[in-house]
Structure 1
């Protein structure tokens, strides 16, 4: 299992790719799968851990990302012959090693940071075994072996007692994530807003977000780890997820619903695959519609909100899906090698 090394596995607060790796790795180990996890040295896992980088380079500015990524990826492929399969959760760079080894490589594509990276995926398309994390995120020029939605540990999230008295923004603070829009909706809905997440765009935060923070109507609580996440999500009237890009998945959306908290989202990217309008939230086309959705959210059955994601987005279902895929890929690889021998 090849993890990113921006953050440790599992992440202390932000780190959706690392969170995915942790949930899948631990689930596989519980099923009796022999997993070697390539991640940062401070990672916590029940798998066999192999590390090069001491910690995530986003946590230690003294680490050079390119240097440690090169060392990290090479460590996996230098030992490729030891494994039945390599699961790449690192993005496109490891694909450039994949034709140099016989071991099949499954790559979970966590979205496309830019169209500029697509040529790498295209080059290795024939043997890439690509997995999309939502149907909406499938690229038209690539072939996929499966769409497998992420899962979460449902036991870590429980429904709150009822509609809370605040709205919640939970995610990285960046213009495309809709932090400012969430503030506008909360103001129009006359409800307090709590903002939680890392500041990814400092200029955006300082110019548009920070001047409106007053600790009462709008409060910023910083990055929130697992110890506070459940209570914050469960206590909200609704989660505002008014992104302006095609969101490939959205862990916070599913986590909120697992707590019984409805989600108000634009119908972009994977949101129509997750949000069931009028059941676990509302898909809205404008900020005015979002305000209407906020008011309607109080009447939604929070037990039903939880039930809408309980099976679909449980990590055990995700592990089942990947195990089935691994068996299929390994069988295809054996058939390919037999054909080559013949």
Structure 2
């Protein structure tokens, strides 16, 4: 995270729940510098929505096999594109080039032929540069795509409808 901010000369706001103070002290805190600003936990859902909405992009360089990315959906619901590694459900949530960018995590873990051809930190930086160099009209279209994608696929009513359809299908098979 810090390396990508320093590499491209942009500043980042770091937000995260601290589950392990020792890990945070040793691994995260040393990365915080003039390029990375720490933000405390959000006090309300509106504060979180405003934070995402005011961002140019949400960078989510997680290495775990994310089962479902609420952070991605929250960011896109606020109209903010996401850049993340192609881990777990990320390729099912982000539409590469339309709602953000997907990056292969390493040369040994290629999971798709994404717009960003580099991988790892270099890939994150490439995706950030692509986004920052986009014509304003295309960037604004990407922000609209984010909101539409969430409304079309990740609302509570949509998910309820899908569960009901699945249950009906399972019942009809018995």
TM range (shorter): 0.7 to 0.9
Aligned to 2:18: 199
Equivalent of residue 223 in structure 1, options 41, 56, 59: 41
Structure 2: how far apart are the matches of 1:279 and 1:325? 28
What is the aligned counterpart of 2:81 among 227, 238, 262? 262
The equivalent residue for 2:108 is none
Residue 295 of structure 1 and its aligned partner are, at CA, apart by: 1.9
TM-score by length of 1: 0.41
- The Cα shift of 1:328 comes to 5.0
1:162-195 superposed Cα distances (whole Å, 9 cap, x missing partner): xxxxxxxxxxxxxxxxxxxx22212212111111
Q: How many equivalent pairs are there?
A: 151
Aligned to 1:165: none
Indicate the SS of the match to 2:87. coil
1:189 and 1:232 map into 2 onto residues whose CA distance is: 22
1:293 pairs with 2:117: no
* Structure 2 residue runs without a partner (length 5+): 105-119
Tell me: higher relative CO, structure 1 or 2? Use CA pairs within 8 A at least 6 residues apart: 2
- Structure 2: distance between partners of 1:201 and 1:326: 39
The alpha-carbon deviation at position 306 of structure 1 amounts to 2.1
Higher helix share: 2
Match of 1:324 in 2: 165
2:54 corresponding residue in structure 1: 235
Match of 2:28 in 1: 209
Alignment of 1:185 onto 2:4: yes
Match of 2:65 in 1: 246
Superposed displacement of residue 325, structure 1: 3.5
TM-score (norm 2): 0.77
Q: In the TM superposition, what whole-angstrom CA distance separates every residue of 1:76-107 from its partner, at most 9, and x where no partner exists?
A: xxxxxxxxxxxxxxxxxxxxxxxxxxxxxxxx
**Structure (1 or 2) with the larger CA radius of gyration:** 1
**How much does 1:273 deviate?**
0.8
For the 8 Å contact 2:99–2:146, the answer to whether it is kept is: yes
| Aligned residues of 2:2 and 2:32 also touching (Cα < 8 A) | no
Kindly provide the CA deviation profile for residues 220-261 of structure 1, in whole angstroms up to 9, marking residues without a partner as x: 222224131101111111111111121111011011112221
- Distance in 1 between residues matched to 2:47 and 2:8, nearest whole Å: 25
Report how far residue 330 of structure 1 moved. Answer: 6.0
Q: Relative to structure 1, is the Cα distance of residues 204 and 311 closer, same or farther in structure 2, using a 3 angstrom cutoff? A: same
TM-superposed deviation, 1:329: 5.4
Partner of 2:151: 310
Q: In the alignment, which residue of structure 1 is the partner of 2:111?
A: none
Aligned residue for 1:340? none
